Amino acid sequence: MIMKHLLTVFTFFCCTTFLLAQNATNNLEAALFNLPDVSFKKIDTPDGFQAAYELKVRQPIDHQHPEKGFFYQKVFLTHSGFDRPTIICTEGYQRPSNRIYELSTLLKGNQLDVEHRYFGDSKLEPLDYQYLNLEQETADLHHINQIFREIYKGKWLSTGISKGGQTTIYYRYFYPADVDVAVPYVAPLNQSLEEPRIYAFLDTVGTPECRAKIKAVQMRLLKNRQEVLSKLHWFAQGAGLKFTYLSFEQAFEYAVLEYQFSFWQMGNDCSKIPDDKMPLDSTIANFLAVSDLGFFSDEQIAGYSSHYYQAGDEMGYYGYRTEDFKGLLKALPMSPHPSAVFMPGKVEKHFNGELPKKVANWLNDWGNNFIYINGDSDTWSATAVRPSGKTNAVFFFMPKTSHAGARIKNMTKAEREKLVTTLEKWLGMEIE
């Protein structure tokens, strides 16, 4: 009798839970159906959430002139509850599938993960780059915010990683009232096409011994040019890499110059850098692991074409110093410094640094309710937003942490407690 009673209770609990979840899904789908400019299809629901959908949101090509036409932007919605906070995730590139951000899990919130215009399935046809700018892309996010505020009426947050973190910053600048809190991760705020702060960082990060070992790898590769190129030729063939935007030798020299930047960005281990007593093959293997030759191939340059356009137009980027390699560079110029920006179709760069400087000044004076998460060993931390003392913004520069490691899950207990306490205060809610 006891077992029968327990089975009845368990069955009732399971059926009730299922019916509640089904009812919540039905209510959500009814709400989605009534939203303007939104179509949807159901996808697999991540653990801990009630439902998930892939959306197509109709967006004006030019938000100032809707008569110019529309495109459809891909968005992933993951639903937790109508009474939960909503996190809008501002991607910087394509978003091929749904992924859950740390804040969405921490806050048990609803999540809208927004693919960037001109990337992935959110491309305009034809691809007219005059409509790829920060004002238009943040207007996309504002349109989504205004649509979904009809069903999610609680607190809103924005977050993004790397270029997505940059998008979070610019979104808050153009539409400061859209969200209550902004949390950009590892987000540079570049103010020039060739950021001098990158060079200053690379001159001081780590130990002098480690920096000397990095330079020694670069020198060894360039001094053994013909043997290295011969081996890399077979590597490129095996990997199916094509080089027409850059010649093969240009790509090689770019990758050698990139080695220093990538080493620190991705948190590589100095103790694993081979010295000149080890076989050249060891140096080549280390080089390929740290500085991806394929990054300078046709396929990847084309894949990041919209990113490069933004860098060369408004967002700024970095270049490569050549002074230490006099007489060793054969395919790239010594001066001006080679740029890390590869404009689509090799059109001329037309960078205007006025907007990022305005944004930097605004953040210093008015950028409240920001939480910046950075790794202090990440090359991109060189151009991260820094405390001004004029706002309530909270900054985390996680010690000995790279671009990929600067996450809440890797924080110390004290750092996590500070983050959670800050969110609780700004959102007016208790976080488990």
Report yes or no: 64 and 85 within 8 Å, Cβ to Cβ.
no
pLDDT tens-digit profile of 148-158?
999 999 999 99
- Among candidate residues 346, 380, 395, the one where a domain is terminated: 346
Q: From start to end of 255-330, where are the E strands?
A: none
| Residues 148, 200 within the same domain | no
255 and 340 fall within a common domain = yes
Do 77 and 21 lie in a common domain? Answer: no
Identify whether residues 141 and 267 lie together within a single domain.
no
Q: Is 140 helix (H, G, I), strand (E, B) or coil?
A: helix
The answer to whether position 224 is within a domain reads yes
DSSP string of 216-276, one letter each residue: HHHHHHHHTHHHHHHHHHHHHHHHT---SSS-HHHHHHHHHHHHHHHHHHTT--GGG---T
17 in a structural domain = yes
Positive or negative CA dihedral for 71, 75, 79, 82? negative
Residues of the chain with pLDDT under 50: 17, 19
pLDDT of residue 155: 98
Domain presence at residue 47: yes
**Which tokens belong to 149?**
């505020």
Q: Hey, what are 273's tokens? A: 């850098």
Strands ordered across the beta sheet of 86-90: 38-43, 51-60, 70-79, 110-114, 86-90, 156-161, 181-185, 371-375, 394-398
Q: Is residue 337 part of a domain?
A: yes
- Does residue 419 belong to any structural domain of this protein? yes
Q: Could you report the per-residue pLDDT of 332-384, keeping only the tens digit for each?
A: 999 999 999 999 999 999 999 999 999 999 999 999 999 999 999 999 999 99
List the CATH number of the domain containing 102. 3.40.50.1820
Q: Per the structure, how many domains does the chain have?
A: 3
- pTM, entire model: 0.93
CA distance 101 to 110: 11
338 and 385 housed in the same domain:
no
**Separation of alpha carbons 255 and 331, rounded Å:** 12
339 SS3 class: strand
DSSP labels for 348-386? PP---THHHHHHHHHHHHH--SBEEEEETTSGGGGGB--
Residues 43, 114, single domain; the answer is yes
The pLDDT assigned to 17 comes to 47
Query: Do both 162 and 150 map to the same domain?
Result: yes
CA–CA gap between residue 50 and residue 299 (Å, rounded) = 38
Q: What local confidence, expressed as pLDDT, does residue 125 receive?
A: 85
- Mark whether 113 and 258 lie in a shared domain: no
Residue 432 domain flag? no
Do residues 223 and 125 both lie within one domain? no
Looking at the structure, tell me whether residues 339 and 265 fall in a common domain. Answer: yes
Query: By residue range, what is the domain housing residue 83?
Result: 35-191+354-427
Cα(87)–Cα(351) distance, integer angstroms = 32
Task: List, in sequence order, every residue forming a beta bridge with 54; answer none if it has no partner.
Answer: 41, 76
Residue 64 and residue 177 share a domain: yes
Give strand pairing partners of 185. Answer: 161, 373
Same domain, 218 and 241: yes
In a domain, 380, yes or no: yes
DSSP 45: P
Domain boundary among 346, 370, 388: 346
Is 9 part of a structural domain of the chain? Answer: yes
